[in-house]
């Protein structure tokens, strides 16, 4: 069956849904994209996240498959962003300048433990991907970090401005003729989506609803995350910085217009209420310890969301005739998305071949 003859529904217009809609519509499939919320202001975790693509940093807490999928994604992000920018004529701030990890002198053991953990998980290759920095090397990369005596540089890591990427993807799918259905909650079944208006048939349904698919994915749960955005011209970081601490890892991701996205919290709860005072205090204190000039930064936004996670915190791509489910990206949405898109495309190809053999 030719691509143009296949009619595909994608449920969920978060990062996965938009990437899939863009990729599949570019390949010639007829695509309909459904979302229970607004397409201009998506309510999901993709809009809240800091957009980090950091397989090495995440490997410290995560199993090896997350790292492997992340490294695969790193190979595709630059090409995909360049293609997207060309199609829509809008700059998407993708930056592959690495990331820097620091710790205060009393927490130096955190840096050593980080290095040892990655070396153990990756073997000899682990040490090759980390570079120790003394105070001079650290200042050369990040002049604002002159308070720290040493750090680690992970040169391969990247980040993307999600607040520019998501609108660009929406513009691209509109240009490709994707049928958009916002404020339309759906249930997914093989070859059909069910809405309040009734059932609509498709050759294939791709369920990328995140927590909206609760009940369809065994053990799916929400994990709360809290983020602050501050603004100051007094501190100019060049790349994501992580502060290692015995109780948490704070990340600070610089953005345009003197803004910095900061976060660290990971709470086993599906509570979507506003950020807690405790989290604000901890994030602010840790940020101040990176550079005292952050004390005069203005808090311009706080973000709260719940990331969809499976029981083992690994993503799932499940397929059956007429239906593919992709879910469980947890805190690794931007890290894993391209690799999982490729898995969905592979599953789609296999299902198409099986259909052709039957007919």
Could you read off the pLDDT of 77-134 as tens digits, one per residue? 999 999 999 999 999 999 999 999 999 999 999 999 999 999 888 886 666 789 999 9
Provide the percentage of residues in the chain whose pLDDT is more than 90: 84
Under 8 Å between Cβ of 148 and 102: yes
What's the confidence (pLDDT) of residue 247? 78
Could you read off the pLDDT of 280-338 as tens digits, one per residue? 999 999 999 999 999 999 999 999 999 999 999 999 999 999 999 999 999 999 999 99
Tokens representing 154? 């992970």
CA dist 305 and 46 (Å) reads 9
Task: Give every strand in the sheet of 198-201, ordered side by side.
Answer: 187-189, 192-195, 198-201
First to last CA, the chain: 10
Please choose, from the candidates 253, 272, 273, 254, the residue with its C-alpha nearest in 3D space to the C-alpha of residue 263.
253
> Confidence class of residue 351 from pLDDT cuts 50, 70 and 90?
confident
CA dist 130 and 165 (Å) reads 29
> Confidence class of residue 349 from pLDDT cuts 50, 70 and 90?
confident
pTM beyond cutoff 0.85: yes
E strands, 258-297, in order = 259-263
- The residue whose two tokens read 């007094």 is 234
Cα atoms in the Cβ-side hemisphere of radius 13 Å centred on 230: 22
What's the confidence (pLDDT) of residue 358? 58
Tokens representing 201? 């048939």
Q: Hey, which residues does 227 pair with through a beta bridge?
A: 263, 303
Average pLDDT, the chain: 93
What's the confidence (pLDDT) of residue 294? 97
What's the confidence (pLDDT) of residue 123? 82
């Amino acid at each position: 069956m030719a691509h143009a003859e296949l009619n595909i529904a994608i449920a969920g217009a978060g990062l996965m849904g938009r990437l899939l809609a863009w990729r599949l519509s570019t390949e010639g499939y007829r695509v309909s994209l459904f979302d229970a919320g607004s397409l201009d202001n998506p309510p999901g975790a993709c809009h809240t996240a800091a957009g980090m693509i950091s397989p090495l940093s995440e490997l410290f807490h995560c199993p090896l498959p997350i790292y492997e999928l992340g490294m695969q994604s790193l190979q595709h992000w630059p090409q995909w962003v360049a293609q997207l920018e060309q199609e829509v004529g809008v700059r998407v701030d993708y930056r592959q300048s690495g990331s820097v990890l620091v710790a205060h002198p009393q927490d130096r053991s955190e840096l050593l433990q980080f290095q040892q953990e990655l070396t153990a998980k990756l073997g000899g290759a682990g040490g090759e991907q980390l570079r120790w920095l003394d105070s001079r090397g650290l200042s050369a990369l990040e002049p604002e970090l002159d308070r720290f005596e040493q750090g680690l540089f992970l040169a391969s890591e990247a980040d993307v401005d999600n607040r520019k990427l998501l609108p660009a993807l929406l513009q691209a799918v509109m240009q490709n003729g994707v049928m958009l259905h916002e404020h339309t909650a759906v249930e997914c079944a093989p070859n059909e989506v069910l809405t309040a208006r009734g059932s609509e048939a498709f050759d294939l349904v791709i369920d990328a609803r995140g927590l909206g698919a609760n009940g369809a994915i065994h053990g799916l749960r929400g994990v709360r995350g809290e983020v602050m955005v501050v603004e100051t011209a007094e501190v100019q970081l060049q790349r994501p910085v992580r502060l290692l601490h015995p109780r948490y890892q704070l990340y600070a991701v610089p953005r345009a217009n003197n803004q910095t996205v900061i976060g660290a919290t990971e709470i086993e709860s599906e509570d979507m209420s506003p950020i807690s005072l405790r989290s604000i205090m901890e994030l602010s204190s840790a940020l101040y310890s990176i550079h005292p000039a952050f004390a005069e930064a203005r808090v311009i936004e706080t973000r709260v969301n719940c990331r969809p996670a499976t029981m083992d915190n690994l993503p799932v791509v499940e397929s059956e005739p007429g239906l593919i489910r992709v879910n469980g990206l947890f805190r690794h949405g931007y890290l894993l998305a391209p690799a999982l898109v490729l898995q969905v495309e592979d599953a789609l190809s296999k299902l198409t071949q099986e259909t052709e053999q039957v007919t």
